[in-house]
Amino acid sequence: MQLVFATNNLNKLKEVQSMLPDHIKLVSLKDITCDEDIPENQTTIEGNAIQKAEYLKEHYGYDCFADDTGLEVEALNGEPGVYSARYAGPQRNAEDNTKKLLTELKNKPNRNAQFKTVIALHLKGKLHTFTGICKGSITKEKHGEGGFGYDPIFKADGLDKTFAEITLEQKNKIGHRGLAVKQLVAFLK
């Protein structure tokens, strides 16, 4: 089975492909020559995932799935949430986003947070959604060289390392995207 994954993020593509059984082959937006910015202007993570999947199905005709992920920080009333990728501005720079978040939390004792991923699957004319949540906390400084995005400052509950300090396999077992992908895989079986 071949599915279009509505992403140009090679890190995300690699992460998700590593969780799928061999019979499911992911195709990126680049592979289908989609070089346009797919709209993401909803007010929720779920809304963005659905919007991207529906756009791809409507304009390109492929069975596909899209995801949206946000980091929700308790002390910031759920921010950056749906704006996680653009938290520090439209340039979507992970380093800038991380710095801004650490600055916003500087004098806040509550560092509880959760990563949330919603996958919207458009398959055979029907839409399905899958949600994965990983609870944890924000560290006071960056740790680790792996991962991407907010991984160097997010520690999942029960871990003494950030997502940037653990292996991709470990992250996939407990992480938000991994939990959502597991639901997707179970559905596709």
Which of the residues are catalytic? 68
8 known ligand binder: yes
110 known ligand binder: no
9 known ligand binder: yes
CA 140 to chain CA centroid, nearest Å: 22
CA 76 to chain CA centroid, nearest Å: 19
148 known ligand binder: yes
- One DSSP character per residue, 119-188 reads EEEEETTEEEEEEEEEEEEE-SS---SSS-TTGGGEEETT-SS-GGGS-HHHHHHHSHHHHHHHHHHHHH
Contact 13, 5 (CB under 8 A): yes
55 known ligand binder: no
68 known ligand binder: yes
Q: Which two tokens stand for residue 141?
A: 């400084």
151 known ligand binder: yes
* Binding-site residue positions: 7-12, 68-69, 148-151, 171, 176-177
* Binding-site residue positions for Mg(2+): 68
